Amino acid sequence: MIKTEMCRWRGLPIVFLAFTFILILITPRSWAVESETLKALIDNLEDLNASPESIIDLQRRIQNQSKENGLTVSNDEVSEIEDHLREIEQRQAELAERIQTLKSAQELLPALDANRDSNAPAPPDESSSSLESPIDFGSDIKPILSNKCFTCHGPDENQRKAGLRLDHREGVFGPLKSGGFAVVAGKPDQSELFHRVSTSDEADKMPPANSGESLTPEEIERIRMWIEQGADWEEHWSFVPPVRPDLPQVSNAEWVRNEVDAFVLARLEKEGLSPSKEADRRRLIRRVSLDLTGLPPTLAEQEKYLKDSSPDWYEKMVEDYLGSKHFGERMAIQWLDLARYADSDGYHIDYEKSFWQYRDWVIDAFNNNKPFDQFTIESLAGDLLPNPTLDQLIGSGFNRCNITTNEGGVIEEEYAVLYTRDRTETASVVWMGLTSGCAVCHDHKFDELTQREFYELSAFFNNTTQRVFDGNIKDTPPVVKVPPLAERGRWDALPAEIAAANAEVQGLSDAGRADFAGWLAGDAEAAVAAAVP
């Protein structure tokens, strides 16, 4: 009995191992199948697509083998095996469907392969360098010089070696103290810069070994190619005078209606794209209104432009929106962000600040098309003009947009310097296109302004009567009294009227003094006696 039970339990693993093996074979995600091609995958799946009859034959063989070995299987075990068979049959049906899907995909492969081959880029020519394309100084060369060379040959005068500067055009192309030139355009073999970075002589090689820096072979090749291609040097973008570009040539010239269209179409053709079809009138009205005023068109505006049948309806619509007061509001948003405008102090309790007159001045400047040079003068120094108008005084509020504080414990001198720094940095960014924050502490390789130049400029913005402590009030002195807009005309006329009144008073005063002087010069006693009854 014991022997029979032992044989019985020894046989069960054989049965389950057999069916487990079958399941592994017919599983479509087998590790062996995944590594083969699509055709081989289909062949393998078809080979494994055993019919139910073959599975039943396998079951019978297993049962006969069990009987020969004296094994017995209980009804529960038979039921379990039958369940496994049903699962296998279900998997077989799924497998047949999968094979059909793969066959359909296989039929599409030749067309896909042909299309892929026709669109595939040509394999790179290993014999040619990937650097044969034009080298851009700003993105390809300046980062190398900045990261590997500027420490010893950059803006820091105290760290500069051999008097060589590689951050300025004069240093790169000017004569060296030792003779020769750092860079000779078009001639890498005559350029000391290329010699120093490419030589194997440790005595000449740059950067030196003890610096901890080195150039990669690709970086060295980039420098060589840059010099060979003419060593084009790019100035900071804000120092490059704007030049009106020539109109690009396009193939579909009939589509172009104005100069902007030419540039748009040229880019589309470069990318292999075609212009979108023309938008309907309602959509155009909405676009123009949002672009120029920041607001959707009103119903009345839509009705007006939809009914306009004139050929220049679009141009008239644009002019109308340009003349809208909302146009100035739309344009002023970006400028006020640059000017750091806010309706609160910005520090501590962030108290309310009454500054909306400057905001409206900027809006009116756009709506009235104030010349930019005049706008600049009034923004930076409107209060310093001879006999400034009220409008010019308000414009100089640009210098009062800095954040202020009234926090206890604040060192007055420290915050006076911070306010000056804020005005200087803002003016530098807004009017010169230059960041100058790093120059506050030192000369920086990416800041065109030196530290000395920064503080020379800040001396102008340090000349102000603004208080350091704002007092947590809306109107921190000095302030300008501004009358209501409806009374602005009368306000502007008052100085002339006051001057005329003062002149009249002065004339009367002068006449009285002259009469009095004459009286003193005559017979005063007789005059008095005659005057007394």
Nearest to 364 by CA among 332, 335, 396, 390: 332
Mean pLDDT value of segment 155-170: 88
pLDDT digit string, tens, across residues 163-220:
899 988 999 999 998 889 999 999 999 999 999 999 999 889 999 988 889 999 999 9
Per the listing, tokens 């005005």 go with 423
Residues 87, 92, 97, CA angle at the centre, nearest 5°? 130
**Confidence category of residue 39, pLDDT binned at 50, 70, 90:** low
The CA distance from 317 to 282, in Å, is 12
Residue 205: what pLDDT?
92
Q: Please give the full DSSP string across 510-528, using - where no structure is assigned.
A: HHHHHHHHHHHHS-HHHHH
Residue 36: what pLDDT?
46
The CA distance from 204 to 195, in Å, is 8
pLDDT digit string, tens, across residues 377-419:
999 999 999 989 989 999 999 999 998 888 888 899 999 999 9
Residue 407: what pLDDT?
87
Q: Where are the domains of the chain?
A: 2-110, 137-234, 253-322, 327-482, 486-531
pLDDT higher for 63 or 32?
A: 63
The CA distance from 278 to 255, in Å, is 11
Q: Contact 380/427 with Cβ under 8 angstroms?
A: yes
The CA distance from 472 to 404, in Å, is 9
By percentage, how much of the chain surpasses pLDDT 90?
Answer: 49
Q: What is the 3-state secondary structure (H, E, C) of 8-26?
A: HHHHHHHHHHHHHHHHHHH
Q: How many alpha carbons lie under 13 Å from residue 11 in its C-beta half-sphere?
A: 20
State the chain's mean pLDDT as an integer: 82
Nearest to 379 by CA among 338, 439, 331: 338
Q: Please give the full DSSP string across 433-455, using - where no structure is assigned.
A: ----SGGGTS--TT-SS-HHHHH
pTM of this prediction? 0.63
Helix (H, G, I), strand (E, B) or coil at 405: strand
Q: Contact 172/166 with Cβ under 8 angstroms?
A: yes
Helix (H, G, I), strand (E, B) or coil at 463: coil
**Confidence category of residue 431, pLDDT binned at 50, 70, 90:** very high
Please state, as a whole number, how many other Cβ atoms lie within 10 Å of the Cβ of residue 12: 15
Please state, as a whole number, how many other Cβ atoms lie within 10 Å of the Cβ of residue 472: 16
Which DSSP category does 165 fall into? -
Please state, as a whole number, how many other Cβ atoms lie within 10 Å of the Cβ of residue 379: 23
pLDDT digit string, tens, across residues 335-373:
999 999 999 888 888 888 888 999 999 999 999 999 999
